[in-house]
Amino acid sequence: MQELLTKISDAIYDGDNELSAELAQKAIDEGIAPETIINEGGVVGLERLGKAFDEMEAFLPELMLGGEAMHELLDVVRPHLKKSDGVVNATVVLGCAQGDLHDIGLNLVATQLSVGGFNVINLGTDTSVSEFIDTAVKNDASIIGVSSLLTTSAYYQDELIKKLVKDGLRDRFKVIVGGGPITPEWTEKIGADGYSRTANQAVQLCKRLVSGEQGVLVIE
Amino acid sequence: MASVQRITEMLARIKEGESCTTHDWDNRVVPKTVRQILKKYDLMHTYKPETPVNQDMELADRYFAAGLELAEVLGVQCTDTETIVRFSKEELLRALKEAPSELTLGSGSDKVTLSARGPEDETKPLFCTSLSIQIDEPLYPELVSQLVAYKGVDILQGPSIDTIFGIPAFSGTPFETAAGIREAKLRSEALWKAGRPGMQQMGMSSSVTEFGFMCGYPASQTPGDPMIGICLQPSELKTNYCNFNKVLTTAAFGGFLRTGCPSMIGGYSGPPEGSAVANIASDILQFALFGTDISNCSMYDVRLNSACCRTGLWAMSVSVQATSRNTHTILDKIINQSAGPCTEDILYTNAAGLITTCVSGMELTTGPRSAGGAMKNYLTPLEAYFCADAFKAAAGLKLDKALEIVDYCLTKYEEHVDDQPKGKSYYDCYDRKTRQPIPEWKAMDERVREDLNKRGLNI
């Protein structure tokens, strides 16, 4: 079993989508528990990538491709998960606010959330309020995350929450916000559910939110 | 100076280019090609942490050759058409040859000349202030008039506003258009208040998309004295239609162009060596793609959001040395500070970054980027004055002396470069009645200047 898990970890580290999915299926067929495949295979590969990134041995493209390979792995494994498996089974819709083309931070958050076991739908840059909401409704998401590097696009974080309230959808989704000018004060002011300063912290934030924690959560 | 015809022809050429998705470009094409070029030119592992200001001019020349080949092999990807436009080596060299080596900017007593420089050049570079840090709309004339009143400041870019008459400036809407127009009026008021109406302007700051630019730019024009159009793309070796809208507007009004895209250490081009090569290629491509007057391809380390760290300083020094030794073009790189006002960190990072770029041959810089440019109203005149003085004082320094001073500056902030203090806002560290910094901030500035003077920077 360990040999197969190591191969899965390597496939994630190498950003090999096809191999990740193939090995995940093989592991399922061999009766390895889904949470073991995720935590001791995929997550280990991504943790190795994170360490390599910190030490300048891997870079943003490797992180992105590793995140995508993890996505493929989760697509195979997720149908076999039970609620009691203790693995996150929630969808997060992410994007940059309208008019904002700065997606480096957004992509890092998307990758880290994939690593954390979330199903991530990354809408990319310049995403309208309607697109966020429509996608979240269509995919039965738990969380909507809006990134903004500029205060003129951060206004759309406020707009999104106002529209959710207006459409009677506010209780259906948790809304998290982030980006350079975003502060805990702004998060509270617009009535968002959470804020984190870094991509790593966004995973903790989302896990706490889907576990039902109430109030405005801030991780700095 | 760009022409509408040339830019339109380039748009048509891009539209017909080879297809490539942005995802593939960022994650496969750029990383793979950069690695191949680094290997071919034997540049892997040439980053030396112990020399944040590169001392090896042969290495700089090798980087230029590698950057030129990377520019030729890769070209530029347009994120709107998802196509690539490529240039032959001859086209790239012709564009570099045709680029201006000197620009006369501004008018009357505020007129200045921006000339090409080289490493260790004694010619003083020019300083443009500030970056587009957001400030309160009513504060604009007060703060900006102080910024431009200083004799060391040559060009105004200025902060940005996020409201118009108190109404939020939603990006990508007519509200942003109004913000551009409003900024034009506020600029004019600030320059008049400072007694520098002829100062060269660069804009627009309040222009997240092209909306703020396309009306704000014409509204800022003074007859016979066109504004420099700032047309930037968020990441390296790419362009988009938004940027072309800004370029076309600038060309239509006969303005100078400042175009660019930043390279990210740890990003798509990889290690410091890869980012340096990609940065050189990005600079070269600005001249071929737009016929730009000033290339503005900055750098930063994505782990730290700054170029004042050891990797960033080294990569900037190699990139500027490479291009300034091998072309006569005009460059403006932003050092991307992340510390804020009323901290010693911002002063030492300013000194380290600006000594590095000046001594490597850069002609112009724009700053400061106080508090990483992310905190509203975290911008004061004092750090802008310090930037102007440090940048100019470094002219004529030898590379080895610059290295000695930069090494010293690094000892002051390197241990916590990943978490720089954000400092205080303008309201908290300036006395608005006297328009003077609070004693704590003034004393800090004097102390650091004295310290650097002792080290050999005549600031």
Q: Tokens 């008021």 identify what position?
A: B189
Cβ pair B172:A103 closer than 8 A: no
Return d(Cα B288, Cα B269) in angstroms, integer.
21
- Residue B321 in contact with residue B119, Cβ under 8 Å? yes
Beta bridge partners of B364: B126, B332
Mutation for testing the B interface, residue in A129, A131, A149, A152 having most B CBs under 10 Å: A152
Contact B302 A181 (CB under 8 A): no
Residues of A in contact with B375 (CB under 8 A): 181
CB-based contacts of B181, cutoff 8 Å, min separation 6: B215, B216, B219
Check A61 against B134: CB less than 8 A apart.
no
Q: Measured between beta carbons, which residues in chain A are less than 8 angstroms from residue B242?
A: 101
**Looking at CA atoms only, how far is residue A1 from chain B in angstroms?**
32
Instruction: Give Cα B181 to chain centroid, integer Å.
Output: 23
Chain A, nearest residue to B24 by Cα: A61
Asked if residues B383 and B347 have their Cβ atoms less than 8 Å apart, the reply is yes
A97 chain-B contacts, CB cut-off 8 A:
171
- Calculate how close chain B gets to A31, using CA atoms only, in Å: 34
Interface confidence: ipTM more than 0.85? no
Walk along chain B (459 residues) and give the pLDDT tens digit of each residue. Answer: 789 999 999 999 999 999 999 989 998 999 999 999 999 999 999 999 999 999 999 999 999 999 999 999 999 999 999 999 999 999 999 999 999 999 999 999 999 999 999 999 999 999 999 999 999 999 999 999 999 999 999 999 999 999 999 999 999 999 999 999 999 999 999 999 999 999 999 999 999 899 999 999 999 988 778 899 999 987 899 999 999 999 999 999 999 999 999 999 999 999 999 999 999 999 999 999 999 999 999 999 988 889 999 999 999 999 999 999 999 999 999 999 999 999 999 999 999 999 999 999 999 999 999 999 989 999 999 999 999 999 999 999 999 999 999 999 999 999 999 889 999 999 999 999 999 999 999 999 999 999 999 999 999
Q: Which candidate from B31, B162, B372 shows the least CB-CB separation from A180?
A: B372
Q: Mutation test of the interface with chain B: which of A49, A59, A98, choosing the one with the most B Cβ atoms within 10 A? A: A59
CA distance B409 to B352: 6
Compute the nearest-CA separation of B452 from chain A (Å). 31
Instruction: Indicate the residue of A59, A98, A102 with minimum beta-carbon distance to B266.
Output: A59
* Spatial distance between the Cα atoms of A155 and A98, rounded to a whole number of angstroms: 9
Q: Contact B27/A97, CB-based, under 8 Å?
A: no
Residues whose CB falls within 8 Å of the CB of residue B45, separated by 6 or more in sequence, listed in order: B273
For residue A39, give the DSSP letter.
Answer: I
Beta carbons of B171 and A56 less than 8 Å apart: no
Map residue B306 onto helix, strand or coil. strand
Chain B residue with minimum CA distance to A65: B27
Indicate the residue of B173, B208, B274 with minimum beta-carbon distance to A100.
Answer: B208
Q: Among all residues of chain A, which has the CA nearest to that of B170?
A: A152
Q: What 3-state DSSP class applies to B111?
A: coil
Is the minimum CB–CB distance between B268 and chain A shorter than 8 Å?
A: yes
A61 vs B27, B374, B375: nearest CB:
B27
CA distance A160 to B405: 49
Q: What gap in Å lies between CA A94 and CA A145, rounded to an integer?
A: 5
pTM (predicted TM-score): 0.92
Give the residue carrying structure tokens 């080290």: B455
